[in-house]
Structure 1
Amino acid sequence: MSIEPLLDRRRHRTERDIALAALGLFEERGVDGTTVDDIARVAGVSARTVFRYATTKERAALIADHEVETQVDRALDDLQADRPLVPQLVELWRDVLAAFDDGRSGPGSQALRLWRLAAREPRLMLAAIAQDEERLTRVQSQLVDRLDLDPLAVRVSLESTAAVVRVVLDRWACDPGTHGLVSTYDAACRALRDQLGPP
């Protein structure tokens, strides 16, 4: 067994431990009532290690699940320049949301807890919005360079599909028993198409 996969597994486990520790503490004490030292103690790491993975305590709870991130990265790599971008992104996000399995998978449970918490913790919501903006800017740059597409078209495509995902996650977090994640996503995509109307 090579050292690199072992180190990767340890890093991913540390990321998960930090994210779950932050999330649990925020749920119990609130963001204001939690320190980085608290997160480090519960995660079994040093405060310095927490800061290696997250620049703020809020972002500690936002550390993404490695498997989901890998799924998104692979799907982004598969996007084709000769096909319309929006339908490809719609399918990408549908696959990601399906992996959440309505909160029954590990990443799905974590996402559900995070979105419920963010609804009542403005600092966490602001951190999530800022992180999403950074990610979209990064993805835009990658797609423009790799697919040789117009930056404006790429940004509009990314922002519009990401907005649908955020709306769906908000609705799901309010009442996950009533609103299935993928079915809500499909309904939201239909609603957007209906509102756009014919060109």
Structure 2
Amino acid sequence: MSDETRRRPGRTVAGRRRLRHSLTVAAIDLFHEQGYEATTVDDIASAAGVGRRTFFRYFRSKDDAIFPDHDEVLRDIEEALAAADTTRNAIEVTCEAVGLVLDFYLADPDVSLKRYALTRTVSSLRDREVASVDRYQRVFARYLRGRFEADGEPLPDLRASVAAAAVAAAHNHVLRRWLRSGGRQDVRAYAKEAFDLVIEAFPPGGARRSLDGEDTVVAVLRTSAASSEVVRQLGVALRELHP
């Protein structure tokens, strides 16, 4: 490696990753220290030891610096779904794929916790986070629709949309619980419990069986509802059908 390359870390893939991370850390720390509105792109660039032009090579705005890797994680998810064995349970595959988002947050707990504190107080950042979740959910729905159509499931579009929303809701509940705990909970074990609930709720051929004369249960829930609340309401509905 030449002396010039060592002096310019942005010249390598690893260097660009480190520089992007440095800009994110600088942005988050400055937002906490002096406030979101008071912090400028120039402030962030200076704190990271680079110029304004370098900042804009990596991010379009200071908001983008808070969520640096969502596009990359989304591509990883799409690749994982495209490469998945089509004989496997589609819901299980989707739950594994959303685990990549969880990995992203767990890879740097300090940054994730600080980011969470910011999204609770800065509405534009919270809106950005919600938009990111919606992008993941649409990718899951597209994958599931294709799988359900290939498997001959009735109502593949509706079933895929509902299942994708359930996967996203389970993940969001697990992640927020971990963030609220200050990163102290065993998030992996809790995630497995939450995803197992989703997998059980959408068994292969479940839609087909419901159209063959069995009762159908429809529950309307907020996307932020806890997985325990989802199970409770489904239980109530089933007891009403079969007292």
Give the structure-1-normalised TM-score.
0.72
What number of residue pairs does the alignment pair up? 191
How far did 1:60 drift?
0.7
Note the aligned Cα RMSD (angstroms): 3.7
Residue in 1 aligned with 2:44?
A: 39
The within-5 A match list for 1:1-199 is 7-64=12-69, 72=77, 75-94=80-99, 97=102, 105=107, 107-137=108-138, 143=143, 153-176=159-182, 179-189=185-195, 190=197, 191=227, 194=231, 196=234
How far did 1:35 drift?
1.1
Give the structure-2-normalised TM-score.
0.61
What is the percentage of aligned positions where both structures have the same residue? 26
CA distance, structure 2, for counterparts of residue 77 and residue 98 of structure 1:
19
Structure 2 residue identity aligned to 1:50 = F
Distance 1:41 1:34, change over 3 A: same
CA distance, structure 2, for counterparts of residue 146 and residue 44 of structure 1:
47
CA distance, structure 2, for counterparts of residue 182 and residue 28 of structure 1:
32
Kept in 2: contact 1:168–1:185 (CA 8 A): yes
Q: Deviations over 1:75-126 (max 9, x none)?
A: 33432333332211213334653675xx5x4x23322322232122222111
CA distance, structure 2, for counterparts of residue 154 and residue 48 of structure 1:
43
Local SS of the residue matching 1:28:
helix
Q: Deviations over 1:139-172 (max 9, x none)?
A: 666x489969566555444332122222222221
Q: Which has the higher contact order (CA 8 A, sep 6+)?
A: 1
Distance 1:69 1:153, change over 3 A: same
More helix by share: 1
How far did 1:30 drift?
2.6
Kept in 2: contact 1:81–1:148 (CA 8 A): no
Stretches of structure 1 that go unaligned for 5 or more consecutive residues are none
CA distance, structure 1, for counterparts of residue 65 and residue 231 of structure 2:
38
Distance 1:176 1:129, change over 3 A: same
Stretches of structure 2 that go unaligned for 5 or more consecutive residues are 6-10, 150-155, 198-226, 239-243
